[in-house]
């Protein structure tokens, strides 16, 4: 299996992480994970099954890098566990604008952020309910919500800075 599919698995990893050494490591991890779960491999779909494991490995790698880059301490825990609704700088930034303005901003978001934000922030669904509606894993949806809130906060802060104008010395 390794000899047959190593090119495919390495290609998936490389296209997602864009680094040869990391892709090689992730491809190796992919085959080890596949070996542990080989009894769950659907017959005739080995290619898709391996590519999915590889995509998962690459996703975990990219997500940890992204979280490290973007987070303040404790953020990543909130992102995975579901942040308490009224805590953190993002929640404060979102609470500082009116509901109409928030709705407008959420509807201007692109996918995959618009639908989870609409469901959770405007229509009051829980992340678990929204994950079912969107047919996404809850952990994925929580991560998308976390990033979307960061994007919205950045937008709001940038608009404030623009409204305040340059600081005179």
Contacts of 27 (CB under 8 A, 6+ apart): 6, 9, 10, 13, 54
The SS3 of residue 66 is: helix
Q: How far, in Å, CA of 90 to CA of 16, rounded?
A: 28
| Closer residue to other proteins (CB): 33 or 91 | 33
What is the contact mask toward other proteins in residues 10 to 49, using x (rule: CB under 8 A)?
A: xxx-xxxxx-x--xx--xx--xx--x-----------xx-
Q: How far, in Å, CA of 77 to CA of 138, rounded?
A: 14
Position 3 contacts other proteins (CB under 8 A): yes
- In the complex, least distance from residue 7 CB atom to other proteins, rounded to whole angstroms: 4
| Closer residue to other proteins (CB): 88 or 116 | 116
Are the C-beta atoms of 159 and 97 separated by less than 8 Å? no
End-to-end Cα, the chain, rounded Å? 67
- In the complex, least distance from residue 11 CB atom to other proteins, rounded to whole angstroms: 5
Q: Applying CB under 8 A, which of residues 97, 105, 120, 136 lies at the interface with other proteins?
A: 136
What is the contact mask toward other proteins in residues 65 to 104, using x (rule: CB under 8 A)?
A: xx--------------------------------------
């Amino acid at each position: 299996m390794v000899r047959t599919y190593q090119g495919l698995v390495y290609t998936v990893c490389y296209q997602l992480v864009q680094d040869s050494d990391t892709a090689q490591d992730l491809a190796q991890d992919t085959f080890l994970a596949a070996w542990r779960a080989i009894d769950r491999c659907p017959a005739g779909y080995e290619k898709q099954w391996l590519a999915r494991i590889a995509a998962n490995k690459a996703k975990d790698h990219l997500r940890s890098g992204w979280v490290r880059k973007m987070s303040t301490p404790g953020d990543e825990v909130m992102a995975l566990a579901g942040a308490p609704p009224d805590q953190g700088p993002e929640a404060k930034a979102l609470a500082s604008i009116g509901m109409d303005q928030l709705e407008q901003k959420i509807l201007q978001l692109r996918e995959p952020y618009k639908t989870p934000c609409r469901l959770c922030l405007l229509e009051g669904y829980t992340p678990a309910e929204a994950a079912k509606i969107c047919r996404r894993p809850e952990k994925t949806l929580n991560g998308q919500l976390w990033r979307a809130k960061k994007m919205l906060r950045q937008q709001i802060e940038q608009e404030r800075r623009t409204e305040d104008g340059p600081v005179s010395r």
